[in-house]
Amino acid sequence: MKPRILVVDDEESIREFLDIMLRKEGYEVTCAEDGQKAQDTLKKKTFDMVISDLQMPHVTGIELLKHVKDTYPDLLFMMITAFGTTESAVEAMKMGAYDYITKPFKIDEVRINIANALRSKNLEVENRSLKKELEKEYSFQNLVGNSEAMHRIYDLVKRVSETPTNVLITGESGTGKEMVAKAIHFNGPLKDKPFVTVNCGAIPESLMESEMFGHKKGSFTGAIADKSGLFEVADGGTLFLDEVGELPLSIQVKLLRAIQERVIRRVGGVDDTKVEVRIIAATNRDLEQMVAQGTFRQDLFYRLNVINIKTPSLRERRDDIPALANHFLAKYNSRLSKSVSAISREAMDLLKKYDYPGNVRELENILERTVALEGGATVLPESLPPFVNTPTGRKMASSEGIEITEDGLDLDKVMGQIEKELLIKAIHTAGGVKKKAAKLLGITFRSMRYRVEKYNLGTITDDELDEEGA
């Protein structure tokens, strides 16, 4: 649908000029000769933008602007002003006008200003819609799990979300630490403010200070312009420091200052900038042990660990597996346009018995793979990955569940089965790339080739063979 623009001006020549120009640009245009008629038109029809003269009889441009902002707060307003009256136009912008254009018009300038204004509005609408989706996604109602362990998490999140207190979330990889962080943010008073995530383990140490605190133009090679850091981007909202245990000591001291004094200084800068940021940090490492070893600052640990939330492993909340599995089933049915309607009792029993070293993230990956490959309407045991659908897969590399009878057992056969299932597990984790799977298992690629052929686990690609010889 064409954007609708209402042009308001008491000069007929101005109205005609803008009408012709804007129609050529693809807009739907309506004209009004004064502020009162503009108000009457707005009652009958919706618009994306009003372009109004500043000085008009009866109802002035300023009066029309006030009416629009009171009655249609999301409606874009652009002021037309003559040379010498720009002060009034600036005052109009303070009252909510997006911008102003000056007579006599420069066509390219008018065209660009209007296009930028409408683009800005669209982005604002999209951002608002995205925020609503995020609030919905991370509402308490959408957090999956009814176990006692999860109820403790819900209670903590509810209480913590109402305060600006720093939070440290700990737990194994894949337990949903980021989900908890977002639930805290989007269920509290900061939900309309920025939520900025930084993976502390993914940024090289040489770039970390610039990424966190920004830099000034020319402060180092490649700094071709001033850049805001993540603290400035998150100002007023939440900065989520994922994998905080990976931060080098050189950055830890600067982070401590930012948290304590609520100021940051860009690389190459001399002035401090005040920031109000709530810190939520997450780690799968034992920070207290790192403090004892001297690899993590004690004072920073205490600043981060004001409130600690430990996310339970999936092994500690097995009762939640059916609910989570069905949640992911529905999610990937929708995303992949599939119609897998149910998980059989036998398949669900296997999912409940598996140990999930990758926790909820691994369960989600399993369901995504299963839905993508499933040809029927129901997930059956044979639909699941091999490492789930075997006794040793449920207790990976463990003797638990393996019975030694009076007749004894074939150790080589049992160990071979465990080896095969670990290989399958590694290949799955590596996305089918055998060379990567070999690294995960701590064996050479040559050894991997031998085992893949031994257990008939597929083929080694030509690319991988080339890499071996390189």
Give the CATH number for residue 338. Answer: 1.10.8.60
pLDDT of residue 133: 60
pLDDT of residue 297: 96
Q: Are residues 12 and 28 in the same domain?
A: yes
pLDDT of residue 397: 41
Q: Are residues 189 and 329 in the same domain?
A: no
pLDDT of residue 469: 47
pLDDT of residue 86: 64
CATH classification of the domain holding 74: 3.40.50.2300
411 located within any domain: yes
Partners of 50 in the β-ladder? 6, 77
pLDDT of residue 141: 55
Q: Are residues 278 and 344 in the same domain?
A: no
CB atoms within 10 A of CB 176: 25
Q: Are residues 204 and 279 in the same domain?
A: yes
pLDDT of residue 396: 46
pLDDT of residue 50: 94
Q: Are residues 301 and 324 in the same domain?
A: no
439 located within any domain: yes
Q: Are residues 291 and 319 in the same domain?
A: no
Give the separation between CA 86 and CA 237, rounded to whole angstroms.
Answer: 35
Give me the sheet containing 76-82, strands edge to edge.
28-32, 4-8, 49-53, 76-82, 99-103
Whether the Cβ atoms of residue 216 and residue 268 lie closer than 8 Å to each other: yes
Q: Are residues 261 and 301 in the same domain?
A: yes
Give the separation between CA 286 and CA 374, rounded to whole angstroms.
Answer: 40
* Residue finishing a domain among 366, 389, 412: 389
Give the separation between CA 26 and CA 3, rounded to whole angstroms.
Answer: 8
Q: Are residues 225 and 322 in the same domain?
A: no
pLDDT of residue 126: 66
Give the separation between CA 434 and CA 358, rounded to whole angstroms.
Answer: 19
Residue identified by tokens 């966190």 is: 212
Question: Tokens at residue 186, please?
Answer: 């989007």
User: Which pTM does this prediction carry?
Assistant: 0.59
Give the separation between CA 362 and CA 360, rounded to whole angstroms.
Answer: 5
Q: How many domains does the chain have?
A: 4
Q: Please classify residue 292 by burial: count the beta carbons closer than 10 Å to its beta carbon, then call 0-12 exposed, 13-18 middle and 19+ buried.
A: exposed
Q: Which domain holds residue 163?
A: 148-310
Q: Are residues 94 and 184 in the same domain?
A: no
Per-residue pLDDT of the chain (470 residues; tens, 9 = 90+): 789 999 999 999 999 999 999 999 899 999 999 999 999 999 999 999 999 998 888 888 899 999 999 999 889 999 888 765 667 777 888 888 888 888 888 888 888 888 888 887 777 776 666 656 655 566 555 567 788 888 888 889 889 998 889 999 999 988 989 989 998 998 889 888 999 999 998 888 888 999 999 999 888 888 888 889 999 999 999 999 999 999 999 999 999 999 999 999 999 998 999 999 999 999 999 999 999 999 999 999 999 999 999 999 999 999 999 999 999 999 999 999 999 999 999 999 999 988 888 899 999 999 999 999 888 899 998 888 888 876 544 444 445 556 677 777 777 777 777 788 788 778 877 777 888 888 888 888 888 888 888 877 766 654 555 555 44
